Structure 1
Amino acid sequence: MITSVKNEKVKEWRKLKQKKERDIKGEFLIEGYHLIEEAHKSDWEIAEIIYEDEKVDVRELSSYDPVAVSDNVMAAITDTRTPQGIAAVVKKKQFSRLPVKKALLIDNVQDPGNVGTMIRTADAAGFDTVMLGKGTVDLYNEKVIRATQGSLFHLNILEADLETEMDRLMADGVTVWSTGLEKASPYHEMQVPEKVAIIVGNEGSGVSAELMEKAEQNVLIPIFGKAESLNVSIAAAILMYYVTGNGV
């Protein structure tokens, strides 16, 4: 059992809290049974299982050669206040540019909770692709991962230049909608194309002018009360369920 936070292995795990180290090593940390189960079922490569010896039964995970640690070590590598006593190091996956039917493009959204929630909702609504553009929080940020509730492992997710990707999508017959107020139509009045991508942007400044100009259609969600705007993850959810025919 590893009991010291100064152990070299523990130091390596803790480094994975930093984006720079995640990029260098091509690995990231996840916490809890649910995320580990989703990673396992989705054929992501789990490099290591880390567990508290007296708290967790890892017999079903024995093929991963789990590493036992003390509670103080688990606390040092996890971020939740009440960790479940199990974590894992997972290898990043190289996503490919698969044919797109329904895609969500996220432009410069920095709040990890919002980004994770949008990924989770895209999965629930039946989208196949999510693209994270410049300025958007790292996909493997621990708060993003937790907010996805495992949907990270179900979708094709790219970190990419959205202008370039929009050109590719439109060349492949995908209609691109941008959220915004300028020259926009209410979303529920729009005919939904067979293949569509939706761009959502930063809550403060919205979708960048360049992307909005490039989009084929700007759409808006009517507001009937006194609120100035909707949370970006709520707006994205409304639009995603509308275009998949799973909502109104």
Structure 2
Amino acid sequence: MITSTQNAQVKQWQKLKRKKERTKTNTFLVEGFHLVEEAITAGWTIEQLILREETELPEWASHLDAETVSEHVFKSITDTETPQGIAAVVQMQDKKLKRHNRILLLDAVQDPGNLGTIIRTADAAGYDAIYVGEGSVDRYNDKVVRATQGSIFHLPVLTADLELLLPELQDNGYTVWAAALEGAVDYRAVTAPEKTALLVGNEGAGIDKRLIAQSDMAVKIPIFGKAESLNVSIATGILLYHTVNK
């Protein structure tokens, strides 16, 4: 059992809280029974399984070798207030796109909770892939991963330069819908084509104007009450379900 936070392995796990180290090692840390099981079930590569002392190895992880650590060490590598006693170092995976008629594009979504919720909602709505643009929070940030509730393991969540990606999608038959206010039509008045790329933007500033100019159509969600705007994850959810046409 590892009992010291000065252990070299423990220090390496702690470093995975930083994006720079995650990028360098192409790995990220997940914690909790549900998320670890989702990663394993979805076929992601588990580089290391970590168990807090007195935590039993679940049946679904019995094929993996686990490193046991003391409670003090486990708390040093996790961020939740009441950790469940299991964590895993998971290898990043850029899934290849197969069937992809519905794609979500995210421009500078910076709040981890929002990004994680959006990924989870896109998964629930049956979207095929998500592209996270520049200026957005890291998709493997621990708060993002927790907020996805495992959906990050279910569909491709990729990074891209959206200015370059939009014309490429349009050349391949996609219609790009931008969620905006100026020059936008009520989303309820239009039907999404079979191949739609939905573009949503930053919590405060919205979508970069250059990206709106590149889009085929701007759509908006009407506000009937006195609220100034909708939370980006809520607005995205409304548009996601409108565009799936199921």
Quickly name the TM-score band, shorter chain normalised.
over 0.9
Asked if 1:143 corresponds to 2:143, the answer is yes
CA distance in 1, matches of 2:70, 2:56: 11
In the alignment, the residues of structure 2 paired with residue 213 and residue 96 of structure 1 have an alpha-carbon distance, to the nearest angstrom, of: 29
1:105 aligns with 2:101: no
Residue 32 (structure 1) aligns with:
32
Residue 53 of structure 1, CA deviation: 2.4
Letter aligned with residue 52 of structure 1: R
Q: Distance in 1 between matches of 2:219 and 2:98?
A: 26
Q: Secondary structure at the match of 1:123?
A: helix
With the length of structure 2 as denominator, give the TM-score of the two structures.
0.97
SS of the aligned residue for 1:89 comes to: strand
Aligned residues: 246
Q: Deviations over 1:132-151 (max 9, x none)?
A: 00100001000000000000
Query: Post-superposition shift, 1:170?
Result: 0.7
1:176 maps to 2:153 = no
Aligned residue for 1:49, secondary structure, equals strand
CA contact (8 A) 1:47 1:64 kept: no
Corresponding letter in the other structure for 1:211: L
The 8 Å contact of residues 110 and 203 in structure 2, kept in 1 or not, is answered as no
Query: TM-score w.r.t. structure 1 length?
Result: 0.96
Alpha carbons 2:94, 2:157 under 8 Å: kept: no
Separation in 2 of the partners of 1:182 and 1:99?
A: 33
Match of residue 242 from structure 1: 242
Q: How does 1:76-155 map to 2 (within 5 A)?
A: 76-98=76-98, 100-155=100-155
Tell me what 2:204 maps to: 204
SS of aligned partner of 2:93: coil
Separation in structure 2 between the aligned mates of residue 94 and residue 223 of structure 1, nearest angstrom: 37
Deviation, structure 1 residue 100: 2.5
Where does residue 69 of structure 1 map in the other structure? Answer: 69
Structure 1 unmatched runs, 5+: none
The residue type equivalent to 1:136 in the other structure is: S
Post-superposition Cα deviations, 1:126-165, rounded to whole Å, max 9, x if no partner, equal 0011010010000100000000000000011111101111
Equivalence for 1:18? 18
- 1:114–1:232 CA contact under 8 A, matched in 2: yes
Once the 2 structures are TM-superposed, how far is the Cα of residue 98 of structure 1 from its aligned partner? Answer: 4.5
Superposed, 1:43-54 pairs within 5 Å as: 43-54=43-54
Distance 1:169 1:32, change over 3 A: same
Alpha-carbon distance between aligned partners in 2 of 1:59 and 1:175, rounded to the nearest angstrom: 46
User: Match of 2:168, SS?
Assistant: helix
CA distance in 1, matches of 2:124, 2:226: 29
Say which SS state the counterpart of residue 140 (structure 1) adopts: coil
Counterpart CA distance in 1 for 2:122 and 2:58 is 32
Is structure 2 residue 191 aligned with structure 1 residue 191?
yes
Secondary structure at the counterpart of residue 63 of structure 1: coil
- Note the aligned Cα RMSD (angstroms): 1.2
Where does residue 216 of structure 1 map in the other structure?
A: 216
Which amino acid in structure 1 is aligned with residue 103 of structure 2? A
Matched residue SS, 1:80: coil
Q: CA deviation at 1:94?
A: 2.7
1:56 to partner: Cα distance: 2.9
Q: Secondary structure at the match of 1:64?
A: coil
Structure 2 regions of 5+ residues with no counterpart?
none
Q: Percent identity among equivalent residues?
A: 52
